[in-house]
Amino acid sequence: MTADLRFPPGFRWGVSTSAYQIEGAVAEDGRGTSTWDTFCAEPGKILNGDSGAIACDHYHRYAEDVALMRELGVDTYRFSFAWPRIQPSGSGPGNAAGLDFYDRLIDTLLGAGIQPAPTLYHWDTPQPLEDAGGWLNRDITERFAEYAALLGARFGDRVPLWITINEPMVLTLMGYSLGAHAPGKQLLFDALPVAHHQLLAHGRAVQALRAAGALEIGIASNHAPTWPASESPEDVEAASLYDNLINWMFADPIILGEYPSGIGDGMPGPVADDLAIISTPLDFFGINHYAPVSVGVATGAGDTAATDGVQLPPGLPFEPRTLPGYPTTDFGWPIVPDAFGETLRIFRDRYGEKLPPIYITENGCAINDGVSDQRRIDYLSSYLRSLKSAIDDGIDVRGYFQWSLLDNFEWAAGYSQRFGLVHVDFETLERTPKESYYWLQALIAQNRR
């Protein structure tokens, strides 16, 4: 079944997680409050009133989880540092107990032959920084640079691969524009400074990590094709605007040092000076890929598609449409394997020689079938074939990190959606590898022979 899925020598195989989604222990070792702690405490924000207070209890069970990774055969683990665990107030010296936890995790990974690939920020802003304006306040870019320097100094001798920020588009759209994620603001287009400040923070973090001797540095940005709902000029124009806001606003500044036409005018300045920092050269560009979106001009006709269960408000110049004819995950996301390879070819054609090497820093699906998850195996098989076709076309993809090792806290959807290769019983916290875990284990082993 997998004999044709041969990837280049040295190709990295990994799994991805994030701190708030798996760690738990939110009140231990001096960890400060995050925006997600605050958001989860607000009634009605999270399905079933769930929170990440315990999650998978990875904080106490990390050794068991590393053993699962070792058995799986991955060579790299992408996790995230919890900023509030490192700097409870978002600034100042590091919290010794929090730093010690990540020392233990990194040393355990290295002892198992697994390279750590930490993400500095996966949406869990220290609440004191949010109280001071959060990502709307330019000062947070200073704080983030200091945070990056602290982490680089502490862990740079053992970490070969660094990721600055996870999916800046999602924090901008879901957290500040639509209010469906922490911190729950509904600013619509007034959220654009959040995008700019995350990009600037990314650039400053690259510089800080580089100064600390970091070897490979990149970002994890989510991207997928935007398909016009029809060939009409109105739909094509609406899809182009959406594409610029969702995809290229978060890639062009990093790779080209410029915003898509017209978008830079809405950003807080000094934009030209900031772009010089944002475009600090990277060693790789991480792409998180899930599903394409069909977009047309806003009509209010009732065929609009929700974004992770959230409908865009009326009055916008575009609207996502339903995408019929494809199976869906249990989260309702269309399963379109060819869109994976299409995404990579779009990047190659758009950026040419300026495109750094690529890592697939996330790809996976919500399949809620328990341990017998053949649908996830089918998904992985088809998406990896699409990835391999892009590599065979000459696109420089260096590795694939599956989302996710564990079933976990899925943000506003609580524990209703299961992305893991390993089933987690959220009552007992027992881990049970799924059939997809053993399928991927066999594929990785095959690629090492």
Instruction: Quote the tokens at residue 107.
Output: 């040393």
Closest by CA to 268, choosing from 197, 324, 219, is 197
423 touches 376 (CB < 8 A): no
The verdict on whether omega for the bond into residue 118 sits within 30 degrees of 0, i.e. cis, is no
pLDDT number for residue 392: 98
| Dist. CA 53–CA 37, nearest whole Å | 8
Per-residue model confidence as pLDDT tens digits over 143-182: 999 999 999 999 999 999 999 999 999 999 999 999 999 9
pTM over 0.95: yes
23 is catalytic: no
| Dist. CA 379–CA 368, nearest whole Å | 13
Find the catalytic residue in 23, 167, 319, 342.
167
Q: How many CB atoms lie within 10 A of CB 332?
A: 14
Binding positions for substrate are 21, 122, 166, 290, 403, 410-411
Identify the bridge partners of residue 13 per DSSP, sorted by sequence position.
Answer: 400
Could you tell me where the beta strands, DSSP code E, fall in 34-122?
Answer: 76-78, 115-116, 119-121
| Dist. CA 256–CA 200, nearest whole Å | 14
pLDDT number for residue 396: 98
Residues (pLDDT < 70) of the chain are 1, 302-303
| Dist. CA 445–CA 221, nearest whole Å | 28
pLDDT number for residue 1: 54
Instruction: Quote the tokens at residue 157.
Output: 């001798």
Q: How many CB atoms lie within 10 A of CB 49?
A: 11
**Phi, then psi, of 192 in degrees rounded to 5:** -55, -35
| Dist. CA 289–CA 364, nearest whole Å | 8
- What crossing angle do the helices spanning 139-155 and 192-211 adopt, rounded to 10°? 30
Per-residue model confidence as pLDDT tens digits over 431-449: 999 999 999 999 999 999 8
Per-residue model confidence as pLDDT tens digits over 371-410: 999 999 999 999 999 999 999 999 999 999 999 999 999 9
362 is catalytic: yes
DSSP 256: T
Find the catalytic residue in 130, 319, 342, 362.
362
User: What residues contact residue 153 under an 8 Å CB cut-off, 6+ apart?
Assistant: 212
pLDDT number for residue 62: 99
314 touches 252 (CB < 8 A): no
User: What residues contact residue 437 under an 8 Å CB cut-off, 6+ apart?
Assistant: 68, 72, 421, 422
Classify 12-448 by CATH class. alpha beta
**Contacts for 60-65 with beta carbons within 8 Å, 24 or more apart?**
60/24, 60/25, 61/429, 61/431, 62/104, 62/105, 62/108, 63/108, 64/431, 65/405, 65/406, 65/431
